[in-house]
Amino acid sequence: MANKTIWKRKDLLGIEELTKEEIHLILNQTFSFKEILERPIKKVPTLRGKTIALIFFEASTRTRFSFELAAKRLSADTVSFAAASSSTVKGETLKDTAKNIEAMKVDLVILRHSMPGSSYMLSRYLEAGVVNAGDGSHEHPTQALLDVFSIYEKKKKIEGLKISIIGDVAHSRVARSNIFALKKLGAEVTICGPKTLIPVDIEKLGVNVTYNLDEAIKDADAINILRIQKERQKETYFPSIREYIKLYGITEERLKKAKKDVLIMHPGPINRGIELFQEVADGANSIILEQVTNGVAVRMAVLYLLCSGETIEEKEK
Amino acid sequence: MANKTIWKRKDLLGIEELTKEEIHLILNQTFSFKEILERPIKKVPTLRGKTIALIFFEASTRTRFSFELAAKRLSADTVSFAAASSSTVKGETLKDTAKNIEAMKVDLVILRHSMPGSSYMLSRYLEAGVVNAGDGSHEHPTQALLDVFSIYEKKKKIEGLKISIIGDVAHSRVARSNIFALKKLGAEVTICGPKTLIPVDIEKLGVNVTYNLDEAIKDADAINILRIQKERQKETYFPSIREYIKLYGITEERLKKAKKDVLIMHPGPINRGIELFQEVADGANSIILEQVTNGVAVRMAVLYLLCSGETIEEKEK
Amino acid sequence: MANKTIWKRKDLLGIEELTKEEIHLILNQTFSFKEILERPIKKVPTLRGKTIALIFFEASTRTRFSFELAAKRLSADTVSFAAASSSTVKGETLKDTAKNIEAMKVDLVILRHSMPGSSYMLSRYLEAGVVNAGDGSHEHPTQALLDVFSIYEKKKKIEGLKISIIGDVAHSRVARSNIFALKKLGAEVTICGPKTLIPVDIEKLGVNVTYNLDEAIKDADAINILRIQKERQKETYFPSIREYIKLYGITEERLKKAKKDVLIMHPGPINRGIELFQEVADGANSIILEQVTNGVAVRMAVLYLLCSGETIEEKEK
């Protein structure tokens, strides 16, 4: 039976504005594309003749690779632009860039930019679709979708699961997008980290807050460990790295207090020996590398839905 | 009826050496490709199996994007190299680079380099075709071709039109290439800017010169506004930016003195509030974004003609 | 009759571990692909749907271009990453990078890294194939294969030939890989350079050593001249560049002492007027540019063998 929800948005800017049905539509689509990634020939002609521009104002090899691979496996053409986003790159310039890209008849723009809301701004100026690949500390929707997909694949559901997010929640677009997605799908979300790294009004998003790692770990079905962004921490939000490791670093010892089948997740790249230790990162509970695979599949699904505006099922009817 | 002129050059190095017929051949070809850009699937298999190298010794995102999109929409493969052209990059090195690229059996090289004449030098060493994507302050032929095409598309002719070019003509390859193209096609060209930015012997190219903006604007059918290249102006050629804006900045107020249907053009990126103001750049007379679209089409035409050496009409006979 | 040797390795990491038969298999395959490079359409669909990642931690435009062209002419998709390899890029990070790339379902990784053995390390972590595109001063196998192919193409054999390698052998992965390949195929190899640039135990590899250039040149069938890596020479291994030129620079005068049909080779880029002079580099004996062409063909052969694991002849049976 065909999936009745049809994708109608031209953009994927954030999880906050998506409905539960839209998230499920992307997840279902992701299953189809993940199957393609297991084949010897991983390429399908779905987006042949479409042009996708990757505009990265922040360095990110893996996210760019993941989107680029997703695009190429759908047979889209890609053009890529990477630059540092300096303080002089003002909104007006972003608009000009956008209008120029549009004038070149690009079908989809994937934007990473340090300014929260940048992809929303871009979207307003463009008829072409926009994918937010990270806008400052605001949202990173495809990361949340791949995280949710990864949990769903293992646990066969999201509703009713207990998910803990550990670390620097205050600066994390990954955490924000995850909270939105998980709550919409009915999970119980606990966030945990040093007080200075937890936003004061975070409970408004419907999450539990604890500063005690053992408590966050105890009943969790999945633990999503955030990267300590050493490069972003100009001010000291916690006494020292050593203190952080002691209180919040996920070691094998620590994991003994968790459920036997808890999923260990990390958006990468891992600071090994800081927020996550070797034996856990590479251990039996870790699904970190499957997250990377799922990242390509979920991005194929997103590119496909934005470029075609209908589900495969709909098309096949 | 088939177009009787056949493209015979292996390179596109400058407008100066082209005949009127050759320019028309490119413009006619551009119309065919522009039509393709309006389709949902913008890709044609015309140059499948051809390899095009983009060698950019000066940063230029838009021009590179435009050429790369043009190549990919013709199904050519591209390899791309970007580097700063330092004073140590001497001619001999350029020759070695050229011979190596040729040995790799590349079909076409697109070169941007700060040294005037660099693409001519490259062309002499190569059997492969060369496209000059800007050589210092010398020429930028595809920019002039897209400018001329954009005027032609709107006014249905070039002959007899009055075109004004405003700004830093002395340092502008865009201005030089435009003057050559427009004069060959029979336009009347007026250049206008501060005395220090107008070459002393520019009248030899058959253009009118004025230092008074209102005079340049008055009867113009199109006004092509050059970018003030702040980054290139080590010496001060005009008293101050403020003075320049006052005398030569194109504001809505200023534009009232122009014809109602005057075309406003700019090669981009615009310094908004300096050589061109917001309300004019985005106003009804502006064809700046259409120039960008036409840039892709004209580059498709150029790549096609250089790689195939015949017109589509000829081929279809 | 089909070639009976079948390629069984998942990687090409070095020449040291290859058998004579494996080298011949690659050379034979190279002849097939070189023929394709002479066609107007140089592209074959052999690796359609395969994804090849180019990970370059050392800058190298030509080698990257050569691999990228090889991949594209086989219709593989490429994703490319270039970064400086700093001292902080430790083995663990390389492993994480590797596992991430693998998780993205990349079929083949081409790695250049300043650390000797880096591609071996990568290979152990990956199910995907790895090609060593240069690992510090250790090996550069595709360079040696293209060198051997270039000699073979001209002399119709390798066995019994006298090959001299001139210059900074101590820091040269090109020299090491060449020595392994030439010795396995039965050539007599002489190395020549200043004492400080010749490893003390190099005779163990079965080569002759001389510090006298005329002696190295006298009976040689081919002279492979190494690049003086000025950028790598922090310590002074020879009195001065002037002294080096005088003793080891290959001039036309010097070449008079060589055989009339000696082949002049260089891995590029040439320091003209230092290790090799203009008139010899561009002279009748030079096959330097043919080496570049052969580089693309040999890399097509390597990518093909690693991705398919069988010869074309085998496949066609």
Give pLDDT tens digits for A30-68: 999 999 999 989 999 999 999 999 999 887 888 999 999
In a domain, A222, yes or no: yes
Edge-first strand order for the sheet with A51-56 is: A77-82, A51-56, A108-113, A129-135
Contact predicate B166/B173, CB 8 Å:
no
B216-263 pLDDT tens trace: 999 999 999 999 876 555 556 666 888 999 999 999 999 999 999 999
Residues B62 and B134 in one domain: yes
In a domain, A15, yes or no: no
Please count the structural domains in chain C.
2
The Cα of C270 is separated from the nearest Cα of chain B by a number of Å equal to: 8
A252-308 pLDDT tens trace: 999 999 999 999 999 998 999 999 999 999 999 999 999 999 999 999 999 999 998
ipTM: 0.88
The Cα of A94 is separated from the nearest Cα of chain B by a number of Å equal to: 11
In a domain, C287, yes or no: yes
The pLDDT score that the predictor gives to residue A236 is: 61
Of the candidates C67, C2, C70, the one whose C-alpha atom is nearest the C-alpha of residue C34 is C70
SS (H, E, C) chain C: CCCCCCCCCCCECCCCCCCHHHHHHHHHHHHHHHHHHCCCCCCCCCCCCCEEEEEECCCCHHHHHHHHHHHHHCCCEEEEEECCCCCCCCHHHHHHHHHHHHHCCCCEEEEEECCCCHHHHHHHHCCCEEEEEEECCCCCHHHHHHHHHHHHHHHCCCCCCEEEEECCCCCCHHHHHHHHHHHHCCCEEEEECCHHHCCCCHHHHCCEEECCHHHHHHCCCEEEECCCCHHHCCCCCCCCHHHHHHHHCECHHHHCCCCCCCEEECCCCCCECCCECHHHHCCCCECHHHHHHHHHHHHHHHHHHHHHCCCHHHHHC
Q: How confident is the model at residue A234 (pLDDT cuts 50, 70, 90)?
A: low
In a domain, C89, yes or no: yes
The pLDDT score that the predictor gives to residue C158 is: 98
Long-range CB contacts (within 8 A, 24+) of A118-121: A118/A57, A118/A94, A119/A11, A119/A13, A120/A13, A120/A14, A121/A91, A121/A94, A121/A95
Interface test with B, best of A68, A92, A104, A308 (most B CBs within 10 A): A104
The Cα of C103 is separated from the nearest Cα of chain A by a number of Å equal to: 5
The boundaries of the domain holding residue B184 are 141-292
Q: How confident is the model at residue A311 (pLDDT cuts 50, 70, 90)?
A: very low
- Contact between chains at A69 and C103 (C-beta distance less than 8 A): no
Residues of A in contact with C99 (CB under 8 A): 289
Instruction: Point out which residues pair with B129 in neighbouring strands.
Output: B108
The pLDDT score that the predictor gives to residue B90 is: 43
C283-303 pLDDT tens trace: 999 999 999 999 999 999 999
Residues of B in contact with A83 (CB under 8 A): 61
Of the candidates C290, C286, C226, C288, the one whose C-alpha atom is nearest the C-alpha of residue C261 is C286
d(CA C189, CA B317): 60
A196-226 pLDDT tens trace: 999 989 999 999 999 999 999 999 999 999 9
- Contact between chains at A104 and B42 (C-beta distance less than 8 A): no
Q: Is the pLDDT of residue B313 over 50?
A: no
Of the candidates A203, A147, A195, the one whose C-alpha atom is nearest the C-alpha of residue A15 is A147
Shortest CB distance from A104 goes to which of B69, B269, B270? Answer: B69
Show which residues on chain B lie within 8 Å of chain C, measured between beta carbons.
Answer: 48-51, 53, 77, 79, 81, 83, 92-93, 96, 99-106
Q: What is the CATH number of the domain that holds B180?
A: 3.40.50.1370
- Give the DSSP H or E segment for A291: helix A288-308
Q: How confident is the model at residue B12 (pLDDT cuts 50, 70, 90)?
A: very high
- Contact between chains at C69 and B49 (C-beta distance less than 8 A): no
A86-134 pLDDT tens trace: 434 444 577 888 888 889 999 999 999 989 999 999 999 899 999 999 9
Residues B168 and B188 in one domain: yes
- Contact between chains at A51 and B65 (C-beta distance less than 8 A): no
The pLDDT score that the predictor gives to residue C249 is: 96
Residues of B in contact with C37 (CB under 8 A): 105
B49-100 pLDDT tens trace: 999 999 988 878 889 999 999 999 999 999 988 765 443 344 457 788 888 8
Residues B260 and B157 in one domain: yes
d(CA C24, CA A235): 61
Residues C243 and C171 in one domain: yes
In a domain, B15, yes or no: no
Residues C110 and C208 in one domain: no
Residues B83 and B196 in one domain: no
To the nearest 10°, the Cα dihedral for A273, A278, A280, A283? 170
The pLDDT score that the predictor gives to residue C256 is: 96
d(CA C259, CA B114): 43
Residues of C in contact with A65 (CB under 8 A): 53, 79, 81, 101, 104
The pLDDT score that the predictor gives to residue A229 is: 75
Show which residues on chain C lie within 8 Å of chain B, measured between beta carbons.
Answer: 37, 40-43, 61-62, 65-66, 68-69, 72-73, 268-270, 272, 289-293, 295-296
Low-confidence ranges of chain C (pLDDT < 50): 1-2, 85-91, 310-317
B202-214: buried (b, 16+ CB within 10 Å) or exposed (e) per residue? Answer: beeeebebbeebe
DSSP B87: T
The pLDDT score that the predictor gives to residue B5 is: 74
Residues B175 and B284 in one domain: yes
Residues B287 and B300 in one domain: no
Mean pLDDT of chain A: 90
Nearest chain C alpha carbon to A271 = C93
Residues A149 and A283 in one domain: yes
Q: In this complex, how many residue pairs, one in chain B and one in chain C, have their CB atoms less than 8 Å apart?
A: 55
Residues of A in contact with B61 (CB under 8 A): 81, 83
Residues A260 and A118 in one domain: no
In a domain, C150, yes or no: yes
The pLDDT score that the predictor gives to residue B289 is: 96
Interface test with A, best of C100, C101, C125, C308 (most A CBs within 10 A): C100
The pLDDT score that the predictor gives to residue B203 is: 93
Residues of A in contact with C51 (CB under 8 A): 42, 69, 72-73
d(CA A108, CA A132): 11
Contacts of B273 (CB under 8 A, 6+ apart): B245, B249
- The residue among A241 and B47 whose pLDDT is bigger is B47
- Contact between chains at C72 and B53 (C-beta distance less than 8 A): no
What is the residue whose two structure tokens read 């979920």? A298
Task: Indicate the pTM of the whole model.
Answer: 0.92
d(CA C174, CA B127): 30
The pLDDT score that the predictor gives to residue B13 is: 98
The pLDDT score that the predictor gives to residue B85 is: 47
In a domain, C272, yes or no: yes
d(CA C185, CA A270): 46
The pLDDT score that the predictor gives to residue B237 is: 62
Residues C78 and C182 in one domain: no
In a domain, B1, yes or no: no
Mean pLDDT within B28-46: 94
Residues C218 and C279 in one domain: yes
